[in-house]
Structure 1
C-alpha cells in the first residue's frame, strides 16, 4: 500500500497551528506525530518545512454545468480547477439541464461524476412546486441536501407556492439550502429600469435591481418558516449586512438549526468595482455596497456566518460580454477561493485557523460529511499544502476553467498551493493536475 510522509509541516487544524509530521497510508491519515521516521523504504517523503498543511476545502455550493450546459464547464474540467485551488470536495447544485428534480436524474448525475471527478463530490436534490413525492425519497446518508430557489431560479425551479414550501419544510429532516431573493421586488425594480434605460441597463444598477430589500424580505421569510416548522435551514450566499442580523452566534454550530454562508465574491468586491469589472462581477445575489461587504466580514468573524463557499458558476466570455439584460449572472471561482482567503490572512483580516474553520471544519459539521474536513488519524487524507512566502499572478494562461476567464485575472496572490491530496493521492503538484481523477462520492453521517 502506498505511503506518503509529510514532514515538518505547520498543521492548521481545530483552532491550533502545530509543527507535526503526517503519515498517509493508502487513502487515510495513519499517524500524526512530532516526528515520524519508521516508514517503509518506498515511502514518498515531502519536506514541508516553512509550509502550512490544511484540511482539504469543502465547497458547499458550485455549479459545474453538467449535464446540458457543458460548453461552460463540466464535472471533469471544473473539479480539475478545484483541486488546483485546494478544494478537495464539492457539493453541486441541481439547476442543470435537465434539472436534478427526480431520483432517476439524481442517480444519473452521480454516475456521470463517478471516475471523472478530480475532487470528492455530492449533489443536491432540487425542489419544485410539484415534486414533493420525489423529494421525500432522497436518502440523507447519500445526498448532501435539498436545494430550493426562493428567487433567481432557472427553468421551473422557483418554489413560490407557500403551501408547497410549508410541506417541504415540514416533510424532511435534511438540510434545506436556499437561494433567497424576492422575485416580485426584483421584477418591479427591473421593469422600472428597463423603461428608463432600455436593454442596456448600466451594470451599476444590478445591486439596486436585486436590492437589499429583495434579499432581506426573502431570507427573513424563509427563516420564519424554518422556525415555525422546525426545519434545518441553510441560507446560501448572504450579500447584505442587514441579513446577518437574522443569525445567531451564541450556540455551537452543531446545535444551530439555521445557518448561513458567504461567498468569496461578496467578501472581495463592492459596488465600486462594477466600473472596472462590469458584468464579470455580475452575480445573483448582487455584489452590493462597501458597508454590506464590511458587515459580512464582521458576521463571518463573529460566527453569525458559518461557511465560506464559492458559488462557482462559469459562463463563456461571449455570454458575459453582452448588455446587462442578456449577460448571465455568475462566475468561476474554485481555483482561487483559497488563495483569495489566504491573501486576506496576509492582510490581517482573518486568521489561518478561522479560514480552516469556515472552509473545512464547518461544512463537514453542517452537512455531517463522513470523515473529512479535519486532519485526524483515520480520516480520509484530503490535504492541502500551502507556501505563504511566494508570489503568483493570475494569468489567462494559468486558468483551468473551461470558460477561460476569471474575475481575479491580473491579481497577484502572495501565496501558492504546492500540493493537493485527495483520498491520499497527490492530485496537484503545484504546477500540474495529475491526469487520473481520484474523487469519491461523499457520504454523510446521518
Structure 2
C-alpha cells in the first residue's frame, strides 16, 4: 500500500482555509483531520507547515500538440510541465494533426496519453461543418465535451456554416466549448493592415486585427444560439470588457447553461507589453488593453467568469520569431499558471480561496468531473502544495515545456509549487518531476 501523510497543512477547500493533516492511501484521500497519526511505519510524512495545500488545478484548455506537431510538444513533455506547475488534470483540444474529428482519431489520443501522461487527461471531440454523425457517437461519460472553432484554426476545423452550427447545438447534449472570434471581421481587418504595411505588419496591431468587435459579434451570436437551442455552452478565453455583459452571476454555477473562462495571459499582459515581449505574447484572441484586463479581473471576482485556464499552446522559439503573418499564436503556460495567480494574490487582487475555486472546483463542476477538484475524503489524491514565500526565477534551465521558452522568462515569482500528487503518487517534488506517469483518463458524472 502507498501511504503519504501531509502534516500541518493550510488546506484550501470550498472557500475556507483550515489547518490540518491529510492522509493519502493508494489513489485516494483517506482522511482529513486536525491531527492524524500514521497507520503504518511505511507511511511517508511530509511536513507542509506554512504552505498551502490545494486540490491539483484542472486546466480545461490546453494544446499539447500530439499527434502531428510533436516538434512543439507532446502529451508526455507538456503534462510533465503541467505537474511541475501544480496542474494535475488537463482537457486537450482537437486541433492536432490530424484533427480529432472522428471517434477513431479521438481515441488515438487517449491511447497515447494512457502510456505517457504524468497528469490526468481528457480530450475534446472536434466539430466541423460536416461531422455531426461522429459528434453524436461521443460518449459523455469519458469525453470532456465538444470543441468548435468559430475563428480560424489548424486544418479544417472552422465551423462557419450557420446551418451546421444550429444542427450541432440542437442535436448534442455534450458541453460545447467554443473559440469565439468572427472570421469575417478578422479577415477584413487583416486586409486593411496589409494595405497599410504590406507583409510587414507590426505585432502590436494584433489586437486591432483580432479586434474587440470580432470577439463580441461572435460571442453574442453563439450565446443567442445556445439560448435558442438550450445547448450547454462554455466560452473559452474571454478577452474583452465588452463581452462580459453577455454573462451572468445571478444564478449558482451549477444552474448556469452558459459559462465563461479567462486565461492567465489575458489577466497578466496588456497591449503595452508588445514592445517588450513582441510575438511571444501573440495569442488568439489577442491580449488587449489595460481596461479590458481590469474588466476581466472584475468579472472573475464577481463570478461572471467561472474558470481560469491557460490555453497552453507551445511553439518553437524559432517559429515565434517569425514575422507577424507567419508567426503562430500561442505560448506555454502550464508550468507557471498557479504561481502567476499566487503572484496576483500577493498583489492583493485575489484570495487563495478564489484561486482554488476558479482553477480547481469550478472546472470540476462545469465538466462534472468524477471525484476530482476538491480535497475531500474518498476523492482522488490530486494535490498541489504551494509555498507562498519561496521565491524563484524563471530561466531556460528550469523551463520544462519542450519548446524551452516562457513569456515569464526572467520573472521572479514569490511562490513555488513544492509537491504535486496525481492519484496518490508524488510526481513532482522540489524542482524535479519523478518518472511516475500517474495520469488516468478523466470520467464524468453524466448520463450516457
TM-score by length of 1: 1.00
Helix, strand or coil at the partner of 2:355: helix
| Paired position in structure 1 for 2:262 | 262
| Paired position in structure 1 for 2:31 | 31
Alignment of 1:164-243 (within 5 A): 164-243=164-243
The whole-number CA distance in structure 2 between the counterparts of 1:22 and 1:3 is 11
Distance apart, 1:152 and its partner CA: 2.4
The whole-number CA distance in structure 1 between the counterparts of 2:200 and 2:399 is 30
The whole-number CA distance in structure 2 between the counterparts of 1:4 and 1:115 is 25
| 1:14 maps to 2:14 | yes
The whole-number CA distance in structure 1 between the counterparts of 2:389 and 2:247 is 37
The whole-number CA distance in structure 2 between the counterparts of 1:161 and 1:153 is 15
Q: Deviations over 1:262-305 (max 9, x none)?
A: 00000000000000000000000000000000000000000000
Helix, strand or coil at the partner of 2:39: coil
Q: Deviations over 1:178-215 (max 9, x none)?
A: 00000110101101101110111011100000000000
Alignment of 1:188-337 (within 5 A): 188-337=188-337
| Paired position in structure 1 for 2:40 | 40
CA contact (8 A) 2:67 2:97 kept: yes
CA contact (8 A) 1:10 1:53 kept: yes
The whole-number CA distance in structure 2 between the counterparts of 1:288 and 1:88 is 29
Q: Deviations over 1:319-372 (max 9, x none)?
A: 010110110000000000001000000111000000000000000000000000
| 1:116 maps to 2:91 | no
| Paired position in structure 1 for 2:139 | 139
| 1:161 maps to 2:161 | yes
| Paired position in structure 2 for 1:443 | 443
Q: Deviations over 1:355-401 (max 9, x none)?
A: 00000000000000000000000000000001111210000111001
| Paired position in structure 2 for 1:66 | 66
Distance apart, 1:436 and its partner CA: 2.3
Alignment of 1:366-377 (within 5 A): 366-377=366-377
The whole-number CA distance in structure 1 between the counterparts of 2:49 and 2:269 is 34
| Paired position in structure 1 for 2:362 | 362
Helix, strand or coil at the partner of 1:245: helix
The whole-number CA distance in structure 2 between the counterparts of 1:74 and 1:224 is 37
Q: Which moved more, 1:138-147 or 1:151-160?
A: 151-160
5+ unaligned residues in a row in structure 2: which ranges?
none
Helix, strand or coil at the partner of 2:326: coil
The whole-number CA distance in structure 2 between the counterparts of 1:195 and 1:322 is 20
| 1:386 maps to 2:390 | no
Q: Deviations over 1:56-82 (max 9, x none)?
A: 000000000000000000000000000
The whole-number CA distance in structure 1 between the counterparts of 2:298 and 2:134 is 39
Query: After TM superposition, what 4+ stretches of structure 1 lie above 6 angstroms from structure 2?
Result: none
Helix, strand or coil at the partner of 1:234: strand
Distance apart, 1:115 and its partner CA: 2.1
| 1:400 maps to 2:400 | yes
| Paired position in structure 2 for 1:51 | 51
CA contact (8 A) 2:8 2:21 kept: yes
5+ unaligned residues in a row in structure 1: which ranges?
none
| Paired position in structure 2 for 1:104 | 104
CA contact (8 A) 1:120 1:440 kept: yes
Helix, strand or coil at the partner of 1:115: helix
CA contact (8 A) 2:420 2:428 kept: yes
Q: Deviations over 1:83-129 (max 9, x none)?
A: 00000000000000000000011111110111210000000000000
Distance apart, 1:38 and its partner CA: 4.3
Helix, strand or coil at the partner of 1:217: helix
Q: Which moved more, 1:11-20 or 1:195-204?
A: 195-204
CA contact (8 A) 2:425 2:436 kept: no
Distance apart, 1:151 and its partner CA: 0.7
Helix, strand or coil at the partner of 1:110: helix
| Paired position in structure 2 for 1:127 | 127
The whole-number CA distance in structure 2 between the counterparts of 1:152 and 1:388 is 39
| 1:342 maps to 2:347 | no
How many equivalent pairs are there?
A: 446
Helix, strand or coil at the partner of 2:177: strand
CA contact (8 A) 2:5 2:38 kept: no
Helix, strand or coil at the partner of 1:29: strand
CA contact (8 A) 1:390 1:415 kept: yes
